[in-house]
Amino acid sequence: MGGRDTDIVLLDENGIRCDGRKVNETRKVTIKAGVLKNANGSAYIEFGDNKILVGVYGPRDVHPKHMSDTDTGILRCRYHMAPFSVGERKNPAPSRREVEISKVIKEALEPAVMLKEFPRTAVDVYMEVLQADGGTRCAALTGASVALADAGIPMRDLVAGCAAGKAADAVILDVNNEEDQAGQADLPIGYMPNLKKITLLQLDGVLTPEEYKQCIEIGIDGCNQVYEIQKKALQDKFFASGEKQ
């Protein structure tokens, strides 16, 4: 982890975290589907203080053409942070971190999207982080699944994202920015609840084998909670006028 020394008490004597949560509690998550006019599908997600807009275009023609595949559609993902999304201005050019996150999110979504249905086409997923507060990759992944579903692209399952981790020697759910900076470990998880498959998994920080098991356990639990909110966002959009669900 960043290992920065701060004065923040990550976990007080009552087991309450620096933002008032219990160890096994996620931040407040709200998702709205269908927020952009031009995109084929879109979503706006607030994951605690993270604010992320996702737009999906496609299936559409592939440019450049040599990227197209006669056997399957391709998924392209771009995770990008706005310069104003963090404390100190971020250079708008894509950093190596963003290149890597784009890649892991793409590989987390691929198992869910039925790309073989659209050979020679591309589905483009653009995730724009407007405000970042720790756990952006999970939040972006969560929003991206909703936007893909909103675009009407056939999917096997939604992918829900939530991190687990370790701070002040305790296993915690949904690591926030302070806990990411000063905590001991961060383990972001992307999970398909219906298929029971983990499609995104990273870790930085030290965990004993026992803590590792616990982190995956509560991380999956967090993903299941996020999944319910994803489903609700889609229901709210498509059945808002009181149609039968």
Return the structure tokens found at 133: 């507060």
Nearer to another protein, 33 or 77 (CB): 77
Count other C-beta atoms under 10 Å from residue 144's C-beta.
32
Which C-beta is closer to another protein: that of 93 or that of 240?
A: 93
Q: Compute the least distance from the CB of residue 152 to another protein, in Å.
A: 22
C-beta contacts of 37-42 below 8 A and 24+ residues apart? 39/147, 39/151, 40/151, 40/152, 41/147, 41/148, 41/149, 41/150, 41/151, 41/152, 41/153, 42/147, 42/150, 42/151
Q: Which residues contact 238 (CB under 8 A, 6 or more apart)?
A: none
Pick the closer one to another protein by CB: 20 or 209: 209
How far, in Å, CA of 216 to CA of 37, rounded?
38
Residues that bind another protein (CB under 8 A): 1, 3-4, 69-71, 96-97, 99-100, 102-104, 107, 110-111, 187, 192, 195-209, 212-213, 216-217, 220
Query: What DSSP character marks residue 147?
Result: H
Report in angstroms how near the CB of residue 42 gets to another protein at its nearest.
24
Min dist CB 201 to another protein, Å, is 4
In whole angstroms, the minimum distance from the beta carbon of 7 to another protein comes to 14
Nearer to another protein, 42 or 184 (CB): 184
Smallest gap from residue 46 Cβ to another protein (A): 26
Name which of 110 and 237 has its Cβ closer to another protein: 110
Q: What is the dihedral of CA 184, 188, 194, 196, to 10 degrees?
A: -60
In the complex, least distance from residue 85 CB atom to another protein, rounded to whole angstroms = 18
Residue 21 in 3-state DSSP?
coil
| C-beta closer to another protein: residue 39 or 112 | 112
